[in-house]
Homo-oligomer: A and B are copies of this chain.
């Protein structure tokens, strides 16, 4: 592989708006994560998850499918879904970002580059002369006319992931082999798709959005605006494309956001990954075109998602049966679907919104989603995964047939594992951005490492030192700066809005020396090398309540500390009186939250302690000992007995030991 210049202008990142984009911020920041929480998670991602990828893709048949396509075979397709190729593409994208990261171990980088080269060669060999490339249609359905089964066939979805992989690889390494494959396919799409009257043969969209955001990024990478135009056509085309078979479930139009033109949609709906990939494309287009209606659409639907459809973890998509959004505030805990991919998509959409608008809220939610709803999707060891992410696992669950969660090394529909890989590999790209006026460096996420960017006409470089999220202190040291004044903007999470402290060069920052507004703490000065800024966020653990319309959390509290949502896993708890379990405990909120002094918690996390009492099990009703309901007059007594000290761990660390009961929302006396 070619040496990567150490003075690269910016981290290879999945979203790089053009210079002409109507975006508030630009991610032209060279960021590294060198220590601490995210360095550890990313190290596991690189050494274990990404490294195991080719074996998983071999075992599951994905690579053999492409081999068959390359060899012109028309039978033997393996796997239960038509989009098996996308697991390969997402792994390639992860490998691409990892290759673009200077912290990657050189030995691993060389091995990764070799595997990427092999697979890129396979893709080039499998690509048809037209540019078309899809092992399912080439091997399993060679007789099918292309792009005639778009409701379920995932052809453009698969193309989108190929394009994203190619962009990542090219952006990170400068190599063109994958990009050339993607460009040939994209050119084929440009020739194929267009509105009625355009002379293009197909006027339709994919049942699974994804191509839209991919095409915009390909345009950004190649400078070819035709791809942005095609993305704009696709984004605008949803709304009545497919015949609706049903008013509910996957058959309904809204399942794939085809119920209304997206500009008219009042709320998020349907399959949550489809919805958010579409919205990522909307945000990308809003940035590139400056169209106010597209921006308003993205803002409106993000807010609907955040305010009415989000679990405390940032997880979204309540329904199992259509992997979709439920109704507003319908957020069941035990039956949360909260697919890992949907959380990843929410982070990707959120970052596009952060760049588009410059508003802190998008990174506020993305931080929460990353630490909780995304990270729970992969084990601490990096070798097994969760697809859906419940917030409650009941006592006795482990004894039941089909007990979950089973973290497993892979899934028959394996969308989530390589999706986590690509997100974590690209994480440095989500840390910081410069204002498009060039005068401000915005720090969106906190991780120990380095940030460098052109600000106020010169290169500014900062070192970030922190043990966040375990410790609230984030120290930033100016290592390089020009002579002009510029603004350092630090995001203050909403949970710390009134509890932060700021010191500059060791002294508490006096009022007037900074501005705090809308989630951003702005310090403007003529910086000098060696200047330090220390922001201390409020990590006092807190009890959290849900909006009363979240029925599933009625009468409960959750525990949070900083960006981390906590949960109580039965395996960590003291022995309970016989017959009682986690579901029988009531938290005494007045007793507060303490720090767990234990060294046996998974991943060395900071544990918290709570006080709870068992609630008496109701005595059976003599007239109906078989019935779990009873008269209000016969209500069981209040919780009593000796208080118990419970230990809570961060939600992302749950399910890393034997299966046991777990709760995020805890019944409480409050």
Binding site for B on A (CB under 8 A): 246-249, 252-254, 259-260, 267, 269, 303, 306-308, 310, 312, 318-321, 326-330, 332-335, 361, 364-365, 392, 394, 396-397, 400-404, 406, 494-495, 497-498, 519, 542-552, 554-558, 583-584, 589, 615, 618, 621-636, 667, 670
Contact partners of A547 in chain B: CB under 8 A: 618, 628-630
Nearest 3 CB-CB pairings of A with B: A497-B623, A494-B624, A543-B632
- Report A92 CB to chain B, min CB distance, Å: 28
Contact A335 B333 (CB under 8 A): no
Contact partners of A392 in chain B: CB under 8 A: 551
Q: Which residue of B lies closest to A665 (CB)?
A: B551
Contact partners of A625 in chain B: CB under 8 A: 307
Given A259-B401, A401-B253, A401-B254: A629 and B335 interface contact (C-beta under 8 Å): no
Contact B542 A396 (CB under 8 A): no
Contact partners of A545 in chain B: CB under 8 A: 629-632, 634-635
Chain A's interface: helix, strand, loop or mixed, by majority?
loop
Q: Name the one of B312, B495, B628 contacting A546, with C-beta atoms under 8 angstroms.
A: B628
Contact A306 B626 (CB under 8 A): yes
Interface centre among A267, A400, A543 (most CB of B within 10 A): A400
Contact B544 A630 (CB under 8 A): yes
The answer for the CA separation of A364 and B624 in the assembled complex, in Å, is 9
Contact A394 B494 (CB under 8 A): no
- Report A146 CB to chain B, min CB distance, Å: 27
Contact partners of A629 in chain B: CB under 8 A: 312, 544-547, 558
The answer for the CA separation of A320 and B330 in the assembled complex, in Å, is 15
Given A626-B361, A627-B306, A632-B543: A402 and B334 interface contact (C-beta under 8 Å): no
Q: Which residue of B lies closest to A589 (CB)?
A: B632
The oligomer's copy count stands at 2
Contact partners of A326 in chain B: CB under 8 A: 334-335
Contact A394 B628 (CB under 8 A): no
Contact partners of A626 in chain B: CB under 8 A: 303, 306-307, 361, 365
- Report A563 CB to chain B, min CB distance, Å: 13
Contact A404 B248 (CB under 8 A): yes
The answer for the CA separation of A555 and B628 in the assembled complex, in Å, is 15
Interface centre among A332, A494, A623, A635 (most CB of B within 10 A): A623
- Report A334 CB to chain B, min CB distance, Å: 5
Contact B335 A632 (CB under 8 A): no
Contact A544 B631 (CB under 8 A): yes
Given A335-B332, A335-B335, A549-B583: A252 and B494 interface contact (C-beta under 8 Å): no
The answer for the CA separation of A338 and B558 in the assembled complex, in Å, is 30
The answer for the CA separation of A621 and B583 in the assembled complex, in Å, is 31
Contact partners of A546 in chain B: CB under 8 A: 628-629
Contact partners of A624 in chain B: CB under 8 A: 361, 364, 494-495, 497
- Report A303 CB to chain B, min CB distance, Å: 5
- Report A612 CB to chain B, min CB distance, Å: 13
Interface centre among A254, A310, A629, A633 (most CB of B within 10 A): A629
Q: Name the one of B247, B269, B556 contacting A554, with C-beta atoms under 8 angstroms.
A: B556
Contact partners of A246 in chain B: CB under 8 A: 402
Listed A/B pairs (8) with beta-carbon separation below 8 Å: A248-B402, A259-B401, A307-B627, A330-B335, A361-B624, A361-B626, A546-B629, A547-B629
Contact partners of A330 in chain B: CB under 8 A: 334-335, 394
- Report A289 CB to chain B, min CB distance, Å: 25
Contact partners of A583 in chain B: CB under 8 A: 329, 549, 551
Q: Which residue of B lies closest to A618 (CB)?
A: B547
The answer for the CA separation of A306 and B629 in the assembled complex, in Å, is 10
Contact partners of A254 in chain B: CB under 8 A: 401-402
The answer for the CA separation of A23 and B392 in the assembled complex, in Å, is 43
Given A397-B327, A544-B631: A555 and B557 interface contact (C-beta under 8 Å): no
The answer for the CA separation of A249 and B584 in the assembled complex, in Å, is 28
Contact B328 A394 (CB under 8 A): yes
- Report A500 CB to chain B, min CB distance, Å: 11
The answer for the CA separation of A548 and B635 in the assembled complex, in Å, is 10
Contact partners of A667 in chain B: CB under 8 A: 548, 554
The answer for the CA separation of A423 and B588 in the assembled complex, in Å, is 49
Contact B519 A623 (CB under 8 A): yes
Interface centre among A330, A401, A630, A633 (most CB of B within 10 A): A401
- Report A348 CB to chain B, min CB distance, Å: 18
Given A254-B402, A626-B361, A631-B542: A618 and B335 interface contact (C-beta under 8 Å): no
Interface centre among A308, A548, A550 (most CB of B within 10 A): A548
The answer for the CA separation of A584 and B308 in the assembled complex, in Å, is 15
Contact A327 B400 (CB under 8 A): yes
The answer for the CA separation of A231 and B402 in the assembled complex, in Å, is 28
Contact B400 A269 (CB under 8 A): yes
Contact B544 A394 (CB under 8 A): no
The answer for the CA separation of A624 and B498 in the assembled complex, in Å, is 12
